[in-house]
Structure 1
Amino acid sequence: MNTVPVTTAPALAVEHLAKGFGAVTALRDVNLRLEKGEVLALVGDNGAGKSTLLKILCGFHRPDTGRILLDGEEVVLKSVDHARSLGIDAVYQDLALVNELTVYHNMFLNRERVGRTRLLHNRTMRRIAQEHLDEMGVNIPSVDVEVAKLSGGQRQAIAVARSVYSEARILLLDEPLAAMGAKEGALILDLVGDLKARGEVSIIIIAHNYAQVFEVCDRVNLLQHGEITFDKRTAETSVGELTDLVVEEYRRSRAT
């Protein structure tokens, strides 16, 4: 007897997404999918539309056309808070951390809720923050230290941990390794690797460093001129192939 294979809807899918700002077209026709538990690299030159796409996926911008599907169901993201309530959260380069506040206060920044009551309960927040960071393997001197005293890698880890603690099922990371040294970059790559191993979070990483992408990502998408022009598993491509595609595009643009 023939059996029909069971297909599972991707955690997130984008179909024919377009977005313009006045006379500027940022996204033309983006089609993208993110499987459950997958780490997807989104790469492309400056101005390709990567940040615009991320801001649409986290509810900051509304697309002009196209649709977004979450677990196979179409959703219209009305705001960042709405996207977050659906389990989609973004961590940007500026991290949205307050340097003068402690680690545990930043972990609960704008999310100061214990049970169903919205309040500031320092002892409880300190304990929960420590437990969560320990569970994720994030090593810092103390949850009582001010964020300003942490390294760039540690601050990035705190921002990621905050999103995961808030029960994000889809995590959008905007250049998490930008301007980091090898040691700090390794800390974040290890954290992403641990999240991948747990299989509870699906992740999109915007990155410029292709070599780092291949360390933790399952698949890579290349965004060019507002469209996804390349979609392959990292095991089936290479840094060289990606670089050649970008160089070819650069030469073509210079010739016109």
Structure 2
Amino acid sequence: MSLPQRWPAPAKLNLFLHVTGRRPDGYHELQTLFQFLDFGDELRFRLRPDGQVLRSAALAGVSAEADLCLRAARRLQALAGVKAGVEITLDKRLPMGGGLGGGSSDAATVLLALNRLWGCDLTLDELARLGLELGADVPVFVRGRAAWAEGVGERLEPVELPEPWYLVLVPSVSVSTAGVFSAPELTRDSRRITIADFLSGAGRNDCEPVVRARYPEVARLLDWLGQRGEARLTGTGGCVFAAFDSREAAEGVKAELPPAWSGFVARGCNRSPLYRALEEA
């Protein structure tokens, strides 16, 4: 079967996010629960014989040195001793600074797709370790399963969750993750909970009070959506979401959005859509 022309890089939601401590190296200890969406970026790859790793177009505000797609491809190329190159085309649908994991998901899709296209034959564990060098959220996208996460987000336990329909609201602001985690008012001593606790209704996003205070537009989205469902912030934001039992219910609330606001409806997925593409390759 021919390889797919487009490779998905799905969004994720943090269904809750507790900051449970701070390590000596400055990183925060977390508890969170990741679930994927059947919506995200898409990537295309054109192999090159000259060994160059290029992007077909610049991403606004992102230098080539900071581009996670290029960094992922070059790290894989070096680790596996690959002589071939690639030109990467990214169709960007996920907002930057939205808490949906777009950059991390893009990097994971690069690693998994090029591992196949270049014939690297790295194991999933090797790819996840490589992904962790690029960002704490990359391993969950590499492994492709909804997961309970601890540590800085790298200790993952696969879980099976309900797969509701989500309405995700997208603010016009980009939230600084570094700014949120460096905020003096951020809660850093939340108690640890269990999966059973979460399924019984426990869990919140410790970043939400910080983001509410610093980004009034996100606060307005949370308040509006909170009148129609249980509204939560994903990651450090600024996207907010609520779960619904059906697509029709989620679309019905989306239809009520004020004209100046934007959002999308997507299905929650316990298995990354990227893995369906890999199976079809």
- TMscore range, shorter length: under 0.3
Q: Relative to total residues, which structure has the larger helix share, 1 or 2? A: 1
TM-score after normalising by structure 2: 0.25
